[in-house]
Structure 1
C-alpha cells in the first residue's frame, strides 16, 4: 500500500498532485489531512468523495510525498519505499517518483498519466488543472514552463471545467483575507535596488495560516515588483519566502545567508526564535549590500582568552579578575578544549582549595558552536541552557568565545534600523497639562521628552493614571528640577541613576535620562552613557511596556511604537522583546504573569516557550531574592490576585520561590473560599481598609515554614503576627466554634483576635454564620453602664461583661 502524506497547510497544487497519484496508483491512499490552505480545503470539501482516505497509518507502507521532499521530517516506522513528486530541484537519493524543475508539482503527475495512457474523467481533469493554475498563477508566475502549459492543454482536452476553476481561483481578496491582513500586516516596505523594485512584507500571527503567501501574491504592491519577500512570524517560528522575476532577481542568494534555498525565483527558509521585525532588518541590510551580523564569526571574541586546566584556582581567579571576565574556556596542555569554568565557582572554593587545579572545578559538559553557525543558534543555547559563554570551535580548535553580552549588543544593533509606527493619542486632561509643561521645559533646554512605559499602556487602555514616567533625551534630573520649581514642590534626585522623583497633586512622577550600557570587553562592568529613546525602550520587559508618547510641542501626543506594542495590546498578548529576556532578568517571569492576570492577557507562544526554558533552568532561584520578593509583593496587591495565582500554579512558580511549597486541591479550594469572604467583607465593611493579598499569602504558607519568607518579603508586622496566630491557634479556635451552642460562647471564643484572623476562619463555610454574627453584632453590643453606678474597676468590668453575655444569649440565636 502507498500512503500519501500532505504537509501541514498544504496548498492546492499539493492536493491536486496527491489526487493525481491516486489516479496513477490504484493501491495509493491519502492520509486524512490535518490542515490545508483555504483554497485546498474548499476543493477537498467539494470533491472529498473522489479521494481514497485513510484515517490512520498501516503497519507497513510506501510513503508518497507530493510538493515536498523533506524526508527527514517523515521518519516514520513501517516505511518501506519512498516516492516523491516535487518541482523543487533538490531531493534525497534513492527515491521513486519524479522530481523536476517545472511550475507545478501536479504537472509531473499529469505527464506520467499521459505516458501511461491513463483515462481520466472531466472531474479528474478539473481537479488536476486547479493545482497547475494556482501554482503557476494561471501560467503567469516565474518558473512556469512549457511543460505546465502542455499539461493544462491535455487536461482541457479531457474536459477540465473552466467555470469550476474560476470559482475556486478568484483573484479578489475575500473578507476573511482582508481581515487576516488587517490583523497580521506589521510592515510593508518598498526598496529600489540596482534598478529593481523589491517589496518586503512582515506578517505576524499567533496561529499558522496556510494562505498568507497566496494572499500576498494578489496585492497590488506585488504585481509590478521584480521581487518580493514575505516574512511571517507564527509563535516562535518565523518563515521567510522570496519570489523574483526569473533572470532579473535571484532570491535564493539572499536566503542562502539565512540557511534557506530553492529556485532563483522561489526560495524559502524557516527560523526559530528570530522575530519578524529583526529578520526584516537583516533582510533589508542584505538587499542593500551590507554585511549584517548573522553568523557567530561576526560577533565572537577573537582571539579567545582561555585558562589552562593545570592552573591553580588562585592563578585562574587572578587572570579572570585582571580582565574582568566572569568565566573562560579551559584548555589542556595540548591546547584542546576540555571545559568551561566560571569565576563564581572558583570564588566559592578559593578559601578552602586555592592550590587545587582548575580541572577539578570546571564544567566538562558544555555546548560549542562553529563560526558558521547562526547568531540565533547561540541565543537558543543561552536561553535554553542558561550558559553564560559558548566556546567557538573550528577543526577541533578553540577559535573564539561568544557571551550573553555579545549577543545583547548584537540584538541592540539589529534594532537600530527599526522604524516606529506613529499615531496620535489623546492624553487625559490632567496628564496633558503636566506633559505640556515637561515638553516646554525640554524645548527650552534643547532636550526631547517622552511619556514611557506603563503610563502609555494604561492611557491606551483607558485606565486611571496615578504614576507618570518621563524619559528625557538629554538630562532628566535637570528637567525634573525645573519642573519642580514650576509647581513649587520638592524633588528627590538620584544622580548615580540619572533619575529624579517628585509628586504633584495625586501624581507620583519620575524623570529619567535615556541611557545605554556599553561594555569595553566581555565581563567588564557597564559604562552608562546617554542613548536614544529606541535603545532605552529596547531594555524594557514587554512590547506593551516599550512604547512612548512625545510631549514636545511639534508632535505632542504622538505614539512611538518600535516593537508592535499597540498590536499586542489589541491582541491581548504579553510578548518579550528578545529571546534572552528571561535569562537576562528572571524577575520578568513574575512580571509577565502579573500583567497577564491583571489584564486577562495571554503569553505569546514565543514568550511562553522562553519562560518555560527559564523555569526549567531554575533561574528564579538564581535571581536577586530581594527583587523577586518585591515583585511578588506587587502581585499580592493586585485586584485579580486569584487569576495571577492560577498562572503561578500553571507554571509552577511558587515551587521555585517557597521551600517545600506544593499546590493541592484543598489549597485551591481554600483560596476560592477566601475570595468569597473577601468579597463579603468589602461590601459589608467598605470603610475598613485591608490589604487582602496578605491573607491569601498566609493561606499559601500554611503548610510550610513561612516566618523566614515573610521576613524576607518585609511583610508588615501585623501579617507576621497573623501568620503565627493562624498556624498556632486556628485549629483550637475552629474546634471551639464548632462546639459553641450559644452566642456568648462564640463571643468568648473570638474575643481578642484581629479582624484578618476572623476572615481566615470564615473560609470554613459552616463557621461563617457564627463569625458574621460576631463581627456584625456581638462585637458591637453595648450595655447601659448606668445600672452599675456603685461598681468600680475590675468589678465594673466583670459586671459589664456578664451583662453583655446575658444580652447576647437573650437577643441572638445561632442558626
Structure 2
C-alpha cells in the first residue's frame, strides 16, 4: 500500500500538497498524520465530503510499503505515523521546500527546492504531465500557495510560485474562496494572546537589527500562534519577532523575520526548531519561557549578520557651501555640481541647508546679493553615523525628505539620499540616471589575491598591501585604477600602478615615502603625487577628486570627492 501524508498540525500548503500528490499518485491513500490547524478544521467542516482522506486508525499500517511525504522531510513531524516511518522496509518519496536537516527521511525520490510553497513543486509536475484539474482542485491547490507565500507577498515567494498560481487561475481557481480562508478574523483568545504579547514585548538591538521577543505563560493552549506572531511583527514594526508561549507544559516558539540578516530557522535550531529563513517554529519541553528567551538571545548573537548603518551607505565627502557667500554664488555652485540642495557649514559644523528653490525665490525678489544665512533652513534633520538604515528609511517617509546629513557632534560626515536607501532595498537593479553602455555578466564579487600572486611580482604586492594598511591608518581608502587594472584582467603585463585615495592622497604618498625610503613629489594644486621608490619604481597617487572650469580655457579647479565621483569624472 502507498500512502500520502504530511506534517502534524496540518496547514493549507500541506493539505494542498497532499491533494496534488494524489493527482500524481492516484493509487495512493491520503492519510492525516495527526492534528489539523484551526483553518484546516474549519475548511474540512465544510468540504470534508469532497475529500477522501483517512486517519491512521482507519488503515492497516502493516500493509504500508511506501510513504509519499509532502511539506516535511522529518519523521519527527509525522505525528501518529512517526513510528511507521522509523520501520525498516518503508520506501519514501519526499517533496519539500524546507532547508535540509540531519534527521531527514532516507528517500528514494527526494525533491526539495527553495520555493515559497511546496504545492508549487507538485503543480509544476501536474502541468508538465497535463493532468486534468477541476476548478475545485485548482482552488484547493491555490489555497496552499497563497497561504505559504502570504498571498504572494512574503519575501520567500519565487517566480515559480507566481507561475504556479497563474496556472491554477487558468484552470478555474476561485480567489473568492481563497480570500475567505486567508482572511480569518482573530478569535477572542487570539486577540487576548496578541494583547499579552504586545505588553510583554521587548526590543533588542542586536548588530543593528531590531529584534522583538514576547512571552506568554499560561496552561491554556491557544491555536494560531504563527498568525499572532506575524501580526506582532507588523505592529511592532521590527526586523524580527519571536513569540515564546508556555502552553500546557510546553514552550511553543514561533519566529518571523523580514530581514536578510536574520535566519530564524538557524536561531531556533538549537531548540530543535525547523522552518525557513523567515519563518520557523519549535516546541521545547522542560524549560521555562525565560530560559528559552536566553537561548534565543545567545543564538541571535552568534548568527545575526550586522545590519547596515548610515556610515555604510552615506556619500562622502559632502559638497558644502560656506555661510558667508551670496545666494547668487550658491546657485552657481549647485548648478556646477548638479545638486538641488547643499548643506551650509561654519567651519566643519553644519548649520543649515540651502536649496535651489531658496535661490530662485531670492532672485525673484532681487536678493541674489544677500548672504545665504538669511535664507537657509536651520534645525535640519540629521542622523548619526551609527543610525540603522531602517530608521533612516522611516524618517525619510515620515518627514518627506530626500536626503539626511550624517553628523557627529554637528560635524558633517556624509549624506544619505533616497537613492542610497533604494539601493539597499533593490540592489544594483535600481534604475540609474545614466545609461549603462557595457555590463559585466561575470561574478559580482571576486577575490583576486590568488591571481595577483600568480601574475605580479611579490615586491609590488607587498607595496600595494602596505598602501592599504597605511591608508587605513590615516582614515582613508585606496584603490588601484586605470590601465593597470584593465591590463591585469586582460592578462597583459603592466606594472605601472595608479592609486586613487578617498581621503588624503598627498599624506599617503609622504607616509609611504618615509617608510620605504623613497621620494614623494607633491602637486598640491591637482591633489596628486608621484611616489618614487629606491629601485626606480614610480607609483602615481591621486586624491579622489572632481574638476570644474570657471570659464572656457581656464585651468581646472580641483576638489575632493568619492571614488564613485572620481570614476565618473574619468
Structure 2 length normalisation: TM-score? Answer: 0.46
TM, length-normalised to structure 1: 0.33
Q: Which has the higher contact order (CA 8 A, sep 6+)?
A: 2
Between structure 1 and structure 2, the one with the greater Rg is 1
User: Going by fraction, where is helix more abundant, 1 or 2?
Assistant: 1
